[in-house]
Amino acid sequence: MANQLIKDLRAIAEGLDGDGPQWPHIPCPSCGRGGLTLVNDSLIQEESAISKRRQSHPEWDPDWVHGYFSCLLRCQKPDCDLVRMTGDTGLFLKRSEDGYIEFYTPKFFIPHLPLIESYELCPLPVQERVDAAAKIIWTDPSSAANRLRSAVEALMDDQGIPRKRVRDGRIHDVSLHSRINSFKVAKPDHAAVADLVLAVKWIGNVGSHDHRLRISDVLDGVEILDHTLEQIYDSTKDEIRRKAAAIAARKGIPASRISGPVPF
């Protein structure tokens, strides 16, 4: 099943051009379902001081313009929180039209946008680490990737895979890579999931050692982690199978109408 939340986040990561009505769907952090729209007259933008000074340069071009913006976003549901969005702004030449248009690059959302659809399914320690990634992914993707790696550690904790082992009479830390391999052996039903979550670990490793990751790279890890959590914790598929088996056994007759043995 396509992950619509990830699609929305990828569109936001590409930047926002023009005004509010042209922006992609921005998911509401309060309800997770509604879309956020720009509050009228809330958009504030200011050209940076260095951008203003560069206008005297003989080779100055409009795409040198840089500044900052902030605005308020509101969900269609009245009980949801207002969201503050801030970031960088500049101009770019739109190929399909003559002239430049304003371009916005979000850096912070307060409260932060949701990252995973399976949030309510997973254990609290995993939720906390996903939240930590969500707060910084727009401004520091590499650090967010490291938070996702930490979420995998918490996942292994919840699955009963130990962080420590005794060897030669001493207690040693177990690497996350080894823990995932142990998970694959201990939970053979989730062997394929173990292979997936290993990819999240590798993305987190890169985030720990350099700053080359882009938001899109981290969203790859988010998408894989989300799918992993759904496979482990979502019991909906099992419930549907049981319901389908019961309906088939009754040959479609409603359970409320059956008082004796199932008719065959």
**Same domain for 42 and 105:** yes
pLDDT attached to residue 98: 64
Pair (137, 247) in one structural domain: yes
Pick from 222, 15, 199, 26: nearest CA to 101: 15
Residue ending a domain, among 79, 114, 149, is: 114
Are residues 108 and 15 part of one domain?
A: yes
Q: Is there a domain that residue 260 lies in? A: no
Check residue 260 and give its pLDDT.
57
pLDDT of residue 252: 61
To the nearest 10 degrees (0 to 180), the angle between helices 176-186 and 141-158 is: 40
* Long-range contacts of residues 167-172, Cβ cutoff 8 Å, at least 24 apart: none
Residues 208 and 103 in one domain: no
Same domain, 197 and 103: no
pTM for the full predicted model: 0.85
Does residue 262 lie within any of the structural domains?
A: no
- The residue out of 69, 85, 114 marking a domain boundary is 114
Same domain, residue pair 128 and 102: no
Q: What pLDDT, on a 0 to 100 scale, did the predictor assign at position 251?
A: 61
Please report the pLDDT score of residue 259 as a whole number. Answer: 59
Same domain, 99 and 15: yes
The secondary structure of 150-168 as a DSSP string is HHHHHHHHHTT--SEEEET
Residue 224, in any domain of the structure? yes
Q: For residues 213 and 13, what is the distance between their CA atoms, to the nearest angstrom?
A: 13
Q: Can you give the pLDDT at residue 21?
A: 73
The residue range of the domain holding 1 is 1-114
Spell out the per-residue pLDDT of the chain, length 264, in tens: 468 999 999 999 999 987 667 899 999 999 988 899 999 999 999 999 999 999 888 888 888 889 999 999 999 999 999 999 999 998 876 655 667 888 899 999 999 999 999 999 999 999 999 999 999 999 999 999 999 999 999 999 999 999 988 887 788 889 999 999 999 999 998 988 999 999 999 999 988 877 789 999 999 999 999 999 999 998 777 677 777 777 777 766 777 676 555 554
CB atoms < 10 A from the CB of 53, how many?
9
Task: Give strand ranges (E) for the chain.
Answer: 16-17, 36-38, 44-47, 66-75, 83-93, 100-110, 164-167, 170-173
Q: Is residue 259 part of a domain?
A: no
21 and 44 in a common domain: yes
Same-domain check for residues 110 and 154: no
Say how many domains are in the chain.
2
Q: 220-259: b or e for each residue (b if 16 or more CB lie within 10 Å)?
A: bbbbbbbbbbbbbeeeeeeeeeeeeeeeeeeeeeeeeeee
Q: Are residues 232 and 143 in the same domain?
A: yes
Reported as type and span, the H/E element at residue 11 is helix 4-13
Beta carbons within 8 Å of 105's beta carbon, 6+ residues apart? 15, 16, 87, 88, 89, 90
Q: In the listed set 91, 114, 137, which residue is the last one of a domain according to the structure?
A: 114
Do both 130 and 110 map to the same domain? no
State how far the Cα of 147 lies from the Cα of 218, in Å rounded to an integer: 10
Same domain? 189 vs 104: no
3-22: per-residue pLDDT in tens?
899 999 999 999 998 766 78
Domain assignment present for 264: no
